[in-house]
């Protein structure tokens, strides 16, 4: 933590940490404590008086079927995004690892979607799946399948999932490829001499050896799908049709800024904070230890 | 490669090319959409091959204000706002993290660990989970519709502080000992030894933070009600809403293209630093 050789205490270290600590206090700690405080309050319809109600906002959320279904929907959404983008990235990384020449070229060609903002990814997919002019609804029409994600909740969900997964493939690919390239060649060569084919080697050697990366990416992808996909949902579906794509973060925004339900929105923020803390703890505790063999 | 299987080598390339094509398809369609006239983009099926209007659309979009009938700022102005926001966030985060990591690693002072944990907590409070109270704080401070309001609430970053702490801990103690023998004070040591030694880490982090800043969406959406302060990434949503009345898809796709080209260019041009930054900040 501290260097063996260090400078003595003076006013200087306080000045050095001051900028970060001040920003943290004003824009992180204070708003977060405000959120916790507001989550115990209920404001009347005109915003004239507030009442301290302990956990009523939370019990209300617990009983609210909209909130519970939004919770389940967020978990479903995150699981689909994580699985799709990780599976796609794993397959591509597996083949890129085999290629002798050009694996860096493929890496360049595959990592740039990381730089596309989620809301732009949403806009791109919205254009491709636009019911009137989009290219995919046109093709689907030809084979007799009607596409309109403005009316069909399942299709809307599908659309936000693939838009979110598309953007994340780059990140997963980068980490999978790096993990595979760090496996010593002697191990795979020994297996090949023993007669294991490429598929067998992948299933019994490469995949188990990169399982720490898989676990790490699982946490990262879940965090991404929970908290960073607001832009995609806001651009593509606005949570609709009929709340079928309202995730937890979208609901905090919608109830707070559109519905102006301060207490309810704050209570949802507090629940999200608890979720983030849980994910951060998992990330630090388990990833430091790694999956052991 | 372990063994010689020509068929598998060809298959690998085929699948990778297919994968690249699938990943690139949305951007290809956007590019094609941006290169046709507005009328052509209303007939199904929409074209899959670029037209000849790309530079006409580019000129019209970049200097004009996007769609006819929308009240948004000129596109060049929004790109300037995005650039300024991204640079301010990147420089701000790096500056305050370098200073606080330096204090925590090289000084022994009361409440050192208290400050460390206070910074650590910010890792658990992404802006999405505390938007409403943070918005209220910024509004009370009168920072709505300003570059300060756009950037300062985003510049505290535990990840950057951790990364620099990690970097500083790997620098041998002898560096400080010899610097002190030569009579260097703390700030002299910081400027002349620590900063030059962590140069590549700073550059790698800068690439990541530039992309992070440029792609901010929810925060600018709330903070900028004034059209002149809007960023290009935020404007795309207004474009999509306007598209329901005046579907000028060629212009919308051009704006989407302009919004994603700068960060993509940064990733490709500085690929090595980008990869380094990504793997360092997430561990």
- For A255-274, write each residue's pLDDT tens digit: 888 877 777 788 888 888 88
User: What confidence category does residue A74 fall into, taking pLDDT thresholds of 50, 70 and 90?
Assistant: very high
Tokens of B215: 């792609």
Q: Which residues contact B27 (CB under 8 A, 6 or more apart)?
A: A116, A124, B260
Average pLDDT, chain B: 84
User: What confidence category does residue B99 fall into, taking pLDDT thresholds of 50, 70 and 90?
Assistant: very high
DSSP letter (8 states) at residue A41: E
Q: Are B100 and A224 in contact (CB under 8 A)?
A: no
Give, for A42, the enclosing helix (H) or strand (E).
Answer: strand A41-43
Burial class (CB in 10 A: 0-12, 13-18, 19+), B31: middle
Q: Are A122 and A233 in contact (CB under 8 A)?
A: yes
Task: Give the residue from chain B lying closest to A167, CA to CA.
Answer: B23
How many Å apart are CA B17 and CA A106, to the nearest integer?
8
Tokens of B281: 């900040």
Specify whether the backbone of B111 is left (phi greater than 0), alpha (psi in -120 to 50) or beta.
left
Question: For chain B, what is the domain count?
Answer: 1
Tokens of B43: 């007939």
**B92-102: average pLDDT:** 92
The predicted structure's pLDDT at residue A293: 45
- Interface contact flag, A280 B29, Cβ < 8 Å: no
Q: Which of A9-23, A123-137, A239-253, B65-79 has the lowest mean pLDDT?
A: B65-79
What does residue A180 show for φ and ψ, rounded to 5 degrees? Answer: -65, -40
Q: Chain B: nearest CA to A68, how far in angstroms?
A: 18
**A146-166: average pLDDT:** 89
Q: Chain A: nearest CA to B30, how far in angstroms?
A: 7
Q: Are B89 and B155 in contact (CB under 8 A)?
A: yes
User: How many percent of chain A have pLDDT more than 70?
Assistant: 92
Q: Chain A: nearest CA to B241, how far in angstroms?
A: 9
The predicted structure's pLDDT at residue B2: 61
- For B12-53, write each residue's pLDDT tens digit: 889 899 999 988 889 898 888 888 877 777 777 777 788 777
- Interface contact flag, A171 B44, Cβ < 8 Å: no
On the question of pLDDT at A247 being above 70, the answer is yes
Indicate the SS3 state at residue A51.
strand
What Cα–Cα distance (Å) separates residue A96 from each residue in A72, A92, A277? 36, 6, 36
Question: For chain A, what is the domain count?
Answer: 1
The predicted structure's pLDDT at residue A77: 93
What Cα–Cα distance (Å) separates residue B71 from each residue in B63, B238, B253? 15, 9, 18
Specify whether the backbone of B232 is left (phi greater than 0), alpha (psi in -120 to 50) or beta.
alpha
- Interface contact flag, A24 B48, Cβ < 8 Å: no
On chain A, the residues whose CB falls within 8 A of the CB of B96 are: 19-20, 23
What Cα–Cα distance (Å) separates residue A91 from each residue in A95, A202, B18? 6, 11, 12
Q: Which of B181-185, B260-264, B269-273, B278-282 has the lowest mean pLDDT?
A: B278-282
Closest by Cα among A10, A17, A188 to A94:
A188
End-to-end CA distance of chain A: 29
Supply the pTM of this predicted model: 0.89
Cβ–Cβ contact A120 with B under 8 A: yes
The predicted structure's pLDDT at residue B84: 93
Q: Chain A: nearest CA to B149, how far in angstroms?
A: 11
| B237 occurs within a structural domain | yes
Q: Chain A: nearest CA to B263, how far in angstroms?
A: 5
DSSP string, chain B: --S--HHHHHHHHHHHHHHHHHHHHHHHHHHHHTTS-TTGGGSSSPPSS--S-HHHHHHHHHHTTSSTT-----HHHHHHHHHHHHHHHHHHHHHHHHHHHHHHHHB--TTHHHHHHHHHHGGG--GGGGHHHHHHHHHHTT-TTSHHHHHHHHH--HHHHHHHHHHHHHS-HHHHHHHHHTT--HHHHIIIIIHHHTHHHHHHHHHHHHHHHHT--HHHHHH--SGGG--HHHHHHHHHHHTTTS--HHHHHHHHHHHHHHHHHHHHHTHHHHHHHHHHHT-
Which residues 79-118 on chain A approach chain B with CB closer than 8 angstroms?
88, 91-92, 95-96, 98-100, 102, 106-118
- Interface contact flag, B107 A12, Cβ < 8 Å: yes
Structural domain containing residue B208? 55-281
- Interface contact flag, B128 A235, Cβ < 8 Å: no
> What CATH number corresponds to the domain at position A138?
1.10.3720.10
- Interface contact flag, B29 A127, Cβ < 8 Å: yes
Q: Are B82 and B219 in contact (CB under 8 A)?
A: no
- Interface contact flag, A9 B107, Cβ < 8 Å: yes
Angle at A124 between CA A121 and CA A128, to 5 degrees: 140
DSSP letter (8 states) at residue A9: P
Only one residue has tokens 């609709």, namely A240
Which residues 22-61 on chain A approach chain B with CB closer than 8 angstroms?
23-32, 34-35, 38
DSSP letter (8 states) at residue A115: G
The predicted structure's pLDDT at residue B210: 93
Chain centroid to Cα B31, Å, comes to 22
On chain A, the residues whose CB falls within 8 A of the CB of B44 are: 132-133, 138
Largest CA distance in chain B: 77
| A107 occurs within a structural domain | yes
| B149 occurs within a structural domain | yes
Burial class (CB in 10 A: 0-12, 13-18, 19+), A281: exposed
| B175 occurs within a structural domain | yes
Q: Give the mutation candidate from A115, A198, A238, A247 for the B interface (greatest B CB count, under 10 A).
A: A115
CA dihedral B37, B43, B48, B50 (to 10 degrees): -10
**A157-186: average pLDDT:** 91
Q: Chain A: nearest CA to B12, how far in angstroms?
A: 5
Task: Give the residue from chain A lying closest to B241, CA to CA.
Answer: A235
Length reported for chain B: 283
Angle at A224 between CA A235 and CA B229, to 5 degrees: 45
Q: Chain A: nearest CA to B283, how far in angstroms?
A: 9
Which residues 187-206 on chain A approach chain B with CB closer than 8 angstroms?
188-189, 192, 198, 201
Structural domain containing residue A238? 65-289
User: What confidence category does residue A292 fall into, taking pLDDT thresholds of 50, 70 and 90?
Assistant: very low
| A58 occurs within a structural domain | no
| A57 occurs within a structural domain | no
The predicted structure's pLDDT at residue A73: 92
- Interface contact flag, A117 B33, Cβ < 8 Å: no
Closest by Cα among B120, B180, B7 to A280:
B120
The predicted structure's pLDDT at residue B91: 93
Tokens of B2: 């372990």
| A60 occurs within a structural domain | no
How many Å apart are CA B144 and CA B84, to the nearest integer?
16
| A175 occurs within a structural domain | yes
- For B190-248, write each residue's pLDDT tens digit: 998 889 998 889 998 999 999 999 999 988 888 888 878 888 888 888 888 777 776 67
> What CATH number corresponds to the domain at position B251?
1.10.3720.10
Instruction: Quickly count: other Cβ atoms within 10 Å of residue B225's Cβ.
Output: 10
| B208 occurs within a structural domain | yes
On chain B, the residues whose CB falls within 8 A of the CB of A106 are: 16, 20
Task: Give the residue from chain B lying closest to A187, CA to CA.
Answer: B2
| B199 occurs within a structural domain | yes
CA dihedral B64, B67, B72, B77 (to 10 degrees): -30
How many Å apart are CA A32 and CA A30, to the nearest integer?
5
Task: Give the residue from chain B lying closest to A104, CA to CA.
Answer: B271
């Amino acid at each position: 933590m501290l260097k063996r050789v260090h400078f003595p205490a003076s006013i200087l270290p306080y000045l050095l940490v001051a900028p970060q600590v001040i920003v943290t206090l004003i824009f992180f700690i204070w708003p977060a404590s405000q959120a916790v405080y507001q989550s115990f309050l209920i404001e009347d319809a005109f915003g004239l008086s507030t009442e301290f109600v302990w956990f009523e906002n939370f019990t209300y959320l617990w009983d609210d079927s909209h909130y519970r279904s939004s919770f389940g929907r967020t978990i479903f959404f995150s699981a689909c995004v994580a699985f799709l983008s990780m599976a796609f990235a794993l397959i591509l990384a597996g083949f890129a690892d085999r290629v002798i020449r050009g694996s860096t070229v493929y890496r360049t060609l595959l990592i740039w979607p990381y730089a596309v903002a989620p809301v732009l990814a949403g806009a791109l997919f919205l254009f491709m799946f636009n019911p009137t002019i989009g290219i995919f609804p046109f093709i689907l029409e030809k084979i007799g399948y009607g596409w309109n994600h403005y009316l069909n909740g399942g299709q809307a969900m599908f659309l936000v999932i693939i838009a979110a997964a598309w953007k994340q493939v780059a990140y997963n690919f980068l980490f999978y490829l790096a993990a595979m390239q760090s496996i010593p060649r002697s191990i795979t060569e020994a297996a090949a001499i023993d007669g294991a084919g490429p598929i067998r080697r992948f299933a019994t050697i490469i995949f188990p050896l990169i399982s720490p990366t898989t676990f790490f990416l699982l946490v990262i992808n879940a965090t991404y799908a929970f908290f960073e996909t607001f832009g995609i949902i806001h651009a593509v579906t606005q949570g609709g049709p009929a709340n079928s794509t309202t995730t937890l973060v979208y609901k905090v925004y919608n109830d707070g800024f559109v519905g102006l339900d301060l207490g309810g929105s704050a209570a949802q923020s507090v629940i999200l904070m608890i979720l983030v803390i849980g994910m951060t703890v998992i990330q630090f505790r388990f990833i430091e230890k790694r999956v052991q063999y | 490669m372990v063994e010689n299987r020509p068929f598998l080598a060809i298959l690998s390339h085929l699948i990778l090319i297919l994968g690249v094509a699938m990943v690139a398809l949305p951007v290809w369609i956007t590019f094609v959409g941006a290169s046709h006239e507005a009328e052509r983009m209303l007939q199904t099926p929409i074209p899959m091959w670029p037209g000849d209007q790309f530079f006409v659309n580019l000129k019209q979009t970049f200097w004009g204000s996007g769609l006819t009938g929308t009240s948004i700022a000129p596109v060049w102005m929004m790109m300037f706002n995005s650039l300024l926001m991204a640079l301010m966030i990147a420089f701000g985060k790096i500056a305050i993290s370098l200073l606080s990591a330096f204090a925590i690693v090289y000084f022994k002072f009361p409440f050192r660990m208290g400050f460390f944990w206070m910074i650590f907590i910010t890792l658990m409070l992404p802006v999405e989970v505390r938007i409403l109270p943070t918005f209220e704080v910024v509004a009370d401070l009168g920072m709505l519709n300003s570059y300060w309001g756009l950037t300062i609430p985003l510049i505290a970053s535990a990840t950057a502080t951790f990364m620099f702490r990690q970097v500083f801990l790997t620098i041998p103690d002898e560096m400080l000992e010899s610097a002190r023998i030569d009579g260097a004070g703390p700030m002299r040591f910081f400027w002349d030894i620590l900063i030059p030694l962590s140069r590549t880490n700073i550059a790698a982090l800068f690439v990541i933070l530039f992309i992070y800043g440029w792609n901010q969406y929810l925060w600018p959406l709330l903070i900028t009600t004034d059209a002149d302060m809007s960023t290009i990434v935020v404007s795309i949503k207004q474009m999509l809403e306007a598209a329901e009345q005046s579907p000028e898809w060629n212009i919308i796709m051009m704006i989407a293209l302009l919004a994603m080209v700068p960060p993509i260019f940064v990733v490709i041009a500085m690929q090595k630093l980008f990869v380094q930054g990504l793997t360092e900040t997430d561990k």
